[in-house]
A and B are shown apart, each in its own frame.
Chain A
């Protein structure tokens, strides 16, 4: 793939990123505002000799990609709000059985049908805790198409490295907005290939016995090693167990493999943070408006900066703590009731107040909205 300048929707940028990452298999179900991802891949995947299937529903789409991952493929599905709710059980299966896969959620208004064609960032905590049971999860976000592309590639890299589902938490504005995308050249963003076992036939292969570095080499269905995969608590063979020590070890492993590597999967951008006394924290399309405010205010000489998080989960608490250390005012800009603000508060601690600058009405939060609330927070009135 050579460097190519395109003018595309965010959903297309995501599809292009997935192809760049080596997507082999996509299963999906139509839903607004993510459908263009499926439509784009319905063209591109067969043309590349790869697999695209439109399933009978959201649940089966999630299940099908897990099945396809087990035969050795890079897999993805995409959805929005209600579909993301439906996928939660199978998402938990991918967590438990440690199946690499990428799940895109182009967020729209909710709860329930909410508003399919309007923007929201209301699924941030669902991405974290949507499936039942104790677990960890990876969720990435982006505010522009270059980053949509990059984060999509990184989602596949993280999924393969840690044998985990990775959620791409985009939103309606990002998904439908058109802007420039420079498609990186081959090799420009490194790709992670699946780690496969080197054990030969006849040698016992333990699919769920982590190596010393915590990674678990895989073996494709159809290859020489035959093993069991289950959503039940399981031992190193993948066979069900309820032995307390094995259950404890399994859950610890599932959580630690993510939480112990937060720094390796933290992606972020910082704008004018060095001397900033006011710090905005944002992500997704809201970060575009936040950046616009920061630039305008900087031009007037105000010491204000922006921390844009591309990694939402695992929450980069250390990074947020460090960045906000010397700030007088911290405000999170997001289009929900403060879902990420909660995590920022925990990271920043009780010495400093963390404020929420939000919008909840299905409209994108714009610079004017942020400026109005910011003035009040700064004690300057409207």
Chain B
């Protein structure tokens, strides 16, 4: 496939640091869209603010780069007003789950057919490495110099609890799985959440002595296991990858179409 067909070359080079994981997500994303055969004019990318959010400008889709935390709210307006569009919302961990937490749980509750991509590097990269709600206790950040006391969300559990009908997790090390989960998430008819562990060597890596980008990628390999793996029982520290929830419940735009039928039948 021709990756460039999906990119806005005019806007390159991109602004990410060397070794940032976000470029891998971009690569997997365009391959997933290509694999699904979706036309570019039917794709909308809505993002918020942060390093991850810049992904929307680089793709040759309709792209809406919005406010910090509010991408899902804008996306809800796009999707409900024109349900034929495929809407993907790439977000950072702070963007999606701190300032955007309310929109995240409510989009999940509505089960609106949007794909939420949480690119989790456990830090606020763009503002220089502050701790996020996914950093976790004991991590270091510019705003947690004495080590972090804030407990973290588990994105998968949060999304599941809020009612998302497709929930999955992988890492940028597992590129093939990333592509295949992206395809599944985009094809899913309902609110889908895909958490992608991604590295920020510039801030999270440096602050927490995680080594180079390659070291961080290797830690994704060593620190994760497929869902249901026996290894997890022996070592609860391991993070599971794969599909956690995949079910069909009434989708919001379809439910709305039925509501219109009720309202107009008289």
Residues of A within 8 A of B (CB): 24-25, 27, 46-47, 49, 51, 53, 55-57, 59-61, 63-73, 75, 89-90, 93, 220-224, 226-232, 237, 239-240
Contacts and interface: CB of A to CB of B under 8 A. Distances in A.
Contacts of B70: 59-60, 63, 90
Nearest to A24: B81
14 contacts: A25-B77, A25-B81, A60-B103, A61-B73, A63-B66, A63-B70, A67-B73, A67-B79, A69-B77, A90-B70, A222-B85, A226-B60, A227-B62, A239-B57
Contact of B85 (A49, A69, A71, A75): A71
Contacts of B259: 46
B82 interface: yes
B18 interface: no
A237 B85 contact: no
A380 B194 CA distance: 75
B57 A68 contact: no
B77 A64 contact: yes
B41 A224 contact: yes
B174 interface: no
B200 to A, nearest CB: 21
A27 B75 CA distance: 13
Interface of B: 8, 10-11, 40-42, 44, 46, 56-57, 60-67, 70, 72-82, 84-85, 102-103, 106, 256, 259-260, 262-264
Given A25-B77, A64-B76, 11 more contacts: A61-B73, A66-B77, A70-B78, A71-B78, A72-B82, A93-B67, A221-B64, A223-B41, A226-B62, A230-B57, A231-B66
B71 to A, nearest CB: 8
B67 A90 contact: yes
A89 B67 contact: yes
B82 to A, nearest CB: 4
Candidate in B40, B57, B77, B82 with the most chain A CB atoms within 10 angstroms: B77
A16 to B, nearest CB: 17
B85 A64 contact: no
Contacts of B77: 25, 27, 63-70, 75
A252 B106 CA distance: 38
Nearest to B71: A63
A60 B76 contact: yes
A74 to B, nearest CB: 11
Nearest to B69: A59
Nearest to A46: B263
B106 A229 contact: no
A72 B82 CA distance: 9
Given A46-B260, A67-B64, A239-B11, A222 B41 contact: yes
A223 B40 CA distance: 10
A25 B106 CA distance: 19
Given A25-B77, A230-B65, A56 B11 contact: no
Contacts of A51: 80-81, 256
Contact of A68 (B10, B46, B80, B262): B80
A67 B106 CA distance: 17
